[in-house]
């Protein structure tokens, strides 16, 4: 944008021209009211963010600053009200990371290849259809994604649920996020670089892999991290698909596996009368929000620092 | 080295739009041929058909024949990728790969085509940069990013990159139009040297440049916007600038165009 | 290809002449590679289409038998008694749509104002960080919104909600609902949903505002318009389609939100009376499904929830498709 309207202080902009004396009074007043309201809207929007962070940190930070929180699982828990031991969330942290990692392993290649199709190959009806479906997929509610996997896995095939089912449902949510951000990045790669490569007698696929992708690499990493953060914090499909366990389990494909959202969900019903359950809930919420925010900010930072200057 | 180009009755299209019509010409090996003409008359379009680069534009296709010595570029079974290794191209805006060092830029074509031998590659880096009159300026910073060079150096880097794959023909589309006069002179010097080895075709908007560097000059024109461009005449550069046979050419050269 | 003897290029390139032949065999020139890679790219695109199609097919085919088994009208009944084979979606539809629409009514003015703030009002050093902070609202997991909403905000907002229903209770939307206490109402859900969709609506609106033609803005200022007048004449009209489609995307997100609603909203007893009030409890589609995973015992009982999921899917599909059409139309305009 060449126009620096935003640099003109509101009052000055209101005086522009200075000839029109009728401007004073009601018009300037309106202008000032608008300025105040717009600033206020932004400041009001900060309230929930600060409030949420304050709530979660003030109630959960002391829990997650203990070593046991990171080292122990919840094995040996007693009945609510009798158990005096918060124990750890290692099983849920590992579970969340593993499920999100498995999701990424499946979703990122599909998403990146789909973005490559849309930017480098796609023409005509099929491309428009794919692009439309990416939009639709990004609007599919996470609970519907979970329900769909349930309908396929359990109702249709009659298989037993495992942690991998959660990953599959999350794939549906991650693909559109990563695909759209990759698409944006690929579009930023100047066509001249592709032409330079073609003119050297480099085939199209190598041009994409060796020239286009490296040029947009940091953007793709950013998109993937944002996608990872989104699915790591996602709860709804897990409520249908994940079977909570208090034990640490590394195996995605057999046995139950905990995740931070399900650890929260299991303890929520007891938290009103039981401080230990409440500590577990806020500890897990605190861990989850920090995990998600850190990955999210890391992604943005990578995107900002390594952007190729053109 | 350096092959002859023979074009016969070439029409070029973007989808249904005919951008260039009925071009026939012969480009002698190891010579410099300049294309001149007003903007939009199809010089770039035609130039790109000489290494099938127009095919990367959706809808771009040709009718007619382009022969490289005795090989038909458009015969069925000819791979455009192989054509482009034989007929290299340099673009208007210098476009080194931003993720690669100077060294990697020079050997990008070889690397991407599967050459791995380090000795070969190192030798090729020096040879190509020497060939592009750039070696002395960059030999101490081969591992720095190519994007850090000045515009003129970047353009010579792109030329080094193009000649590293050992093409027969080098196409240049307004290679100096984004450069300052000193850098332009350096490229013109380089063209004079390169023509000992390569067949060179250069598009330029700069008449003096055409007069300085080329052996032959081809003048393109178009009757009106929306009409296809044509080759008006092609002759020895001396002849075109001093005694053109067509009125349109004379008008254009003397600035009385349009 | 990778001989390491000698330093001559001709060893490395496929042709003894040091140059690949024009009439290349496939492997040399990468045609095979192009086919494989291009195939993978198209294949991935097709996988994406297949995902959506499969969601529709699986939900549809498992919903149909259950709906056929239903003893009451699936669309118009308020009952939800799966084991008794009597289930209808009306109550859920109402709760889902009303909370989402109210959320949008709250969120859109804020989003527009914040988008204007980010594009036209914030000092340059603040615009970037401010945009990130708004985006972070979208990164907060919805289960955290749910916890915060039900444990912190609900009790604090109860007084305000009671006051509202005292003052505005004559209007059906704000009627008092004595059976729902503790502030865990559709009203609060709408507010939390508004916060959750705010970043989505803001992001797209901001993008559109930042593309408003500078020439028009300059022209308006040059005519002596105040900054606000300039925005009203040269920015807001330009951004209108963007605001509409951003709102639709936000609506889609609100319709499908699960955990925050599940945690905050009081469930209604089976035989509760119908009321138009926002101070009622209830269930949205998503919350109901998530809350009832234990009732997925196969056959009609699972099918009933899948049918509810199908309705939600169709709802969000339509909303998102409309958003997309609006955006495309604008693109066609500005090109
Ligand atoms: N990518 C393209 N798609 C469609 N038409 C094009 C494209 N590039 C150029 N043209 C058209 O082809 C004609 C010739 O353009 P060009 O070859 O760039 O001319 P010149 O290089 O002589 O200025 C023009 O009418 C131009 O609009
Ligand atoms: Mg041109």
CA dihedral B73, B76, B80, B81 (to 10 degrees): -120
Instruction: Name the strand (E) or helix (H) holding B36.
Output: strand B32-36
Q: Is the CB of B228 under 6 A from ligand 1?
A: no
> Please, which residues bridge with residue B12 across strands?
B20, B62
Angle at which helices C31-69 and A163-188 cross, to 10°: 130
Give the residue with greater pLDDT, A127 vs C25.
A127
Phi, psi of C81 (to 5 degrees): -130, 90
- Assign residue C18 a region: left if phi > 0, alpha if psi is -120 to 50, beta otherwise? left
By the 8 A CB rule, do C213 and C219 touch?
Answer: no
- B144: its two tokens: 């720095």
Contacts B166 to C, Cβ<8 Å: 9, 18-19
Asked if A60 and A99 sit in the same domain, the reply is no
C102-127 pLDDT per residue, tens:
999 999 999 999 999 999 999 999 99
A80 & A116 share domain: yes
Is the confidence at residue B2, as pLDDT, over 50? Answer: yes
The long-range contacts involving C38-43, CB below 8 angstroms and separated by at least 24 positions, are C38/A121, C38/A204, C38/A205, C40/A113, C41/A113, C41/A114, C41/A116, C41/A117, C41/A120, C41/A121, C42/A117, C42/A121, C42/A126, C43/A113
The DSSP result for B147-167, as a single string, is GGS-HHHHHHHHHHHHHHT--
Report the separation in Å between the CA atom of B46 and the middle of ligand 1, taken as the mean of its atom positions: 9
CB of B28 closer than 8 Å to CB of B216 = yes
**What local confidence, expressed as pLDDT, does residue A22 receive?**
58
d(CA B213, CA B192): 7
User: What pLDDT shows up at residue A192?
Assistant: 92
At residue B258, the pLDDT reads 40
Residues A275, A245: one domain?
yes
Is residue B74 in a domain? yes
The total of other beta-carbon atoms located within 10 Å of residue C272's CB is 16
Give the H/E segment covering residue A173: helix A163-188
Vertex B211 angle, CA B205 and B212, to 5°: 105
Are A296 and A180 contained in the same domain? yes
pLDDT given for residue A9 in this prediction: 45
Contact C143 A265 (CB under 8 A): yes
Domain count, chain A: 2
Specify whether A234 is located in the same domain as A186: yes
- DSSP state letter for C21: -
Is B91 inside a domain boundary? yes
Classify strands B169-173 and B87-90 as parallel, antiparallel or unpaired.
parallel
**A79 and chain C in contact, CB less than 8 A:** no
Residue B160 included in any domain: yes
Q: Among A42, A135, A142, whose Cβ lies nearest the Cβ of C114?
A: A42
Structural domain includes residue A3: no
Q: Which of B7, B29, B100, B186 is nearest to A196 (CA)?
A: B100
Q: Out of A7-11, B2-6, B199-203, C301-305, give the one with best mean pLDDT.
A: B199-203
The verdict on residue B258 lying in a domain is: no
Task: State the residue for tokens 């990468």.
Answer: C30
Phi, psi of B222 (to 5 degrees): -140, 145
Q: What is the pLDDT of residue A23?
A: 61
Number of B to C CB contacts under 8 A, please give it: 63
The domain that holds B143 is classified in CATH as: 3.40.50.300
Same domain, A162 and A226: yes
Number of domains observed in the structure of chain B: 1
Task: Return the H-helix or E-strand segment holding B89.
Answer: strand B87-90
In a domain, residue B196? The reply is yes
Whether A143 and A282 map to the same domain: the answer is yes
- Rounded to 5, what percent of chain A is helix, strand, coil? 75, 0, 25
Residues A115 and A155 in one domain: yes
Please answer whether residues B75 and B83 qualify as being in contact, where contact means their C-beta atoms are separated by less than 8 angstroms. Answer: no
pLDDT at C30: 59
Same domain, yes or no, for A173 and A29? Answer: no
Half-sphere exposure of B27 (CA within 13 A, CB side): 29
Smallest Cα–Cα separation from C20: which of B156, A206, B201, B112?
A: B112
Shortest distance between the Cα of A191 and any Cα of chain C, in A, equals 18
Residue B205 lies in a domain: yes
Is any atom of ligand 1 closer than 6 Å to the C-beta of B143?
no
In a domain, A221, yes or no: yes
For residue C295, the model assigns a pLDDT of: 83
- Residue among B171, B161, B52 at smallest CA distance from B110: B161
If asked whether residues A186 and A97 sit together in one domain, one would say: yes
Tell me how far apart the alpha carbons of residues B175 and C30 are, in angstroms, rounded to a whole number. 29
Considering the domain boundaries, does residue A216 fall inside one? yes
**Within-domain flag for B138:** yes
pTM over 0.80: yes
Which residue's CA is the nearest one to ligand 1's atom 1?
A: B57
Rounded Cα gap, residues A305 and A287, in angstroms: 26
pLDDT band at C24 (very low <50, low <70, confident <90, very high): very low
Verify that A81 and A225 share a domain, yes or no: yes
pLDDT tens for the 310 residues of chain A, in order: 344 444 444 444 444 444 455 567 888 899 999 999 999 999 999 999 999 999 999 999 999 999 999 999 998 888 888 888 889 999 999 999 999 999 999 999 999 999 999 999 988 899 999 999 999 999 999 999 999 999 999 999 999 999 999 999 999 999 999 999 999 999 999 999 999 999 999 999 999 999 999 989 888 999 999 999 999 999 999 999 998 999 999 999 988 999 999 999 999 999 988 999 999 999 999 999 999 999 999 998 888 877 654 4
Whether residue A13 lies inside any domain: the answer is no
Tell me whether residue A133 is in a domain: yes
Give the domain range for residue B233: 5-42+51-253
Indicate if the pLDDT at residue C2 is higher than 50. Answer: no
Helical pair C90-116 and C299-334, crossing angle rounded to 10 deg: 30
Fold (CATH) for C89-334: MetI-like fold (1.10.3720)
The DSSP symbol for C293 reads G
Q: C157 and A247 in contact (C-beta within 8 Å)?
A: no
Determine the structural domain holding residue A38 and report its residue range.
Answer: 19-65
Do A301 and A231 fall into the same domain?
Answer: yes
- How many CB atoms are located within 10 Å of the residue C173 CB? 16
Does pLDDT of C254 surpass 90? yes
Cα–ligand 1 centroid distance for B42 (angstroms)? 6
């Amino acid at each position: 944008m060449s126009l620096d309207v935003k640099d003109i202080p509101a009052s000055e902009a209101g005086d522009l021209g200075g000839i029109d004396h009728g401007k004073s009074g009601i018009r300037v007043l309106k202008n000032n009211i608008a300025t105040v309201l717009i600033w206020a809207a932004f400041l009001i929007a900060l309230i929930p963010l600060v409030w949420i962070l304050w709530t979660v940190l003030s109630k959960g930070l002391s829990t997650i600053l203990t070593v046991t929180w990171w080292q122990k699982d919840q094995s040996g828990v007693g009945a609510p009200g009798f158990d005096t031991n918060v124990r750890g969330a290692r099983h849920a942290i590992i579970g969340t990371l593993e499920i999100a990692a498995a999701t990424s392993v499946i979703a990122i290649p599909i998403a990146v290849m789909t973005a490559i199709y849309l930017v480098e190959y796609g023409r005509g009806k099929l491309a428009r259809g794919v692009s439309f479906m990416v939009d639709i997929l990004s609007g599919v509610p996470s609970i519907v994604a979970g329900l769909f996997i349930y309908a396929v896995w359990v109702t249709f095939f009659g298989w037993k649920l495992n942690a991998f089912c959660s990953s599959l449902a999350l794939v549906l949510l991650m693909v559109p996020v990563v695909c759209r951000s990759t698409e944006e990045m690929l579009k930023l790669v100047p066509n001249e670089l592709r032409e330079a490569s073609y003119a050297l007698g480099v085939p199209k696929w190598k041009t994409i892999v060796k020239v286009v992708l490296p040029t947009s690499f940091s953007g793709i990493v950013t998109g993937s991290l944002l996608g990872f953060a989104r699915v790591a914090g996602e709860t709804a499909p897990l409520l249908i698909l994940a079977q909570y366990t208090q034990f640490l389990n590394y195996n995605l494909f057999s046995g139950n596996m905990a995740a931070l959202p399900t650890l929260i969900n299991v303890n929520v019903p007891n938290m009103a009368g039981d401080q230990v359950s409440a500590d577990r809930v806020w500890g897990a919420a605190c861990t989850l929000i920090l995990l998600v925010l850190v990955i999210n900010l890391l992604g943005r930072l990578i995107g900002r620092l390594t952007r190729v200057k053109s | 080295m350096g092959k002859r180009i023979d074009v016969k009755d070439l029409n070029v299209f973007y989808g249904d739009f005919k951008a260039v019509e009925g071009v026939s010409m012969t480009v002698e090996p190891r010579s410099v041929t300049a294309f001149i003409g007003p903007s939009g008359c199809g010089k770039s379009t035609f130039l790109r058909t000489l290494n099938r680069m127009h095919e990367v534009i959706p809808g771009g296709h040709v009718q007619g024949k382009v022969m490289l010595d005795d090989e038909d570029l458009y015969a069925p079974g000819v791979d455009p990728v192989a054509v482009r290794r034989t007929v290299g191209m340099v673009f208007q805006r210098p476009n080194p790969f931003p993720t690669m060092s100077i060294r990697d830029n020079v050997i990008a074509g070889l690397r991407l085509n599967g050459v791995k031998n380090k000795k070969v590659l190192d030798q090729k880096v020096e040879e190509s940069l020497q060939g592009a009159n750039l070696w002395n300026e960059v030999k101490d910073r081969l591992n720095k990013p190519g994007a850090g060079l000045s515009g003129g150096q970047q353009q010579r880097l792109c030329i080094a990159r193009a000649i590293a794959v050992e093409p027969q023909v080098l196409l240049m589309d307004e290679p100096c139009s984004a450069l300052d006069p000193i850098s332009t002179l350096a490229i013109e010097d380089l063209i004079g040297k390169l023509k000992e080895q390569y067949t060179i075709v250069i598009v330029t908007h700069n008449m003096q440049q055409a007069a300085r560097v080329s052996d032959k000059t081809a003048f393109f024109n178009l009757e009106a916007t929306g009409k296809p461009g044509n080759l008006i005449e092609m002759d020895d550069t001396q002849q075109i600038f001093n005694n053109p046979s067509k009125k349109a050419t004379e008008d254009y050269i003397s600035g009385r165009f349009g | 290809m990778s001989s390491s003897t000698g330093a001559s290029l001709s060893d490395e390139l496929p042709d003894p002449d040091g140059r690949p032949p024009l009439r290349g065999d496939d492997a040399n020139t990468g045609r095979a590679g192009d086919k494989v890679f291009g195939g993978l790219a198209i294949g991935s695109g097709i996988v994406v289409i297949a995902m959506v199609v499969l969601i529709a097919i699986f939900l549809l085919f498992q919903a149909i038998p259950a709906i056929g088994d239903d003893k009451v009208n699936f669309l118009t009944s308020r009952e939800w008694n799966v084991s008794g084979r009597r289930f209808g979606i009306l109550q859920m539809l109402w709760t889902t749509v009303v909370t989402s629409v109210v959320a949008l009514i709250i969120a859109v003015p804020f989003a527009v104002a914040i988008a204007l703030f980010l594009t036209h009002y914030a000092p340059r050093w603040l615009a970037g960080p401010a945009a990130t902070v708004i985006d972070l609202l979208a990164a907060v997991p919805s289960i955290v919104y749910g916890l915060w909403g039900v444990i912190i905000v609900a009790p604090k907002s109860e007084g305000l909600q009671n006051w509202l229903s005292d003052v505005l209770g004559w209007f059906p939307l704000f009627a008092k609902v004595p059976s729902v206490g503790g502030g865990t109402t559709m009203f609060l859900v709408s507010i939390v949903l508004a916060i959750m969709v705010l970043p989505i609506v803001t992001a797209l609106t901001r993008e559109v505002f930042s593309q408003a033609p500078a020439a028009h803005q300059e022209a308006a200022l040059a005519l002596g318009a105040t900054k606000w007048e300039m925005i009203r004449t040269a920015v807001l009209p330009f951004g209108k389609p963007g605001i509409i489609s951003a709102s639709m995307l936000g609506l889609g997100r609100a319709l499908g939100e699960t955990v925050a609603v599940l945690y905050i909203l009081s469930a209604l007893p089976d035989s509760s009376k119908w009321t138009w009030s926002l101070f009622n409890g209830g269930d949205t589609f998503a919350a109901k499904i998530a809350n009832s995973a234990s009732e997925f015992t196969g056959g009609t009982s699972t099918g009933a929830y899948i049918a509810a999921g199908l309705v939600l899917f169709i709802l969000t599909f339509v909303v998102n498709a409309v958003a997309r059409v609006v955006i495309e139309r604008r693109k066609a305009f500005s090109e």
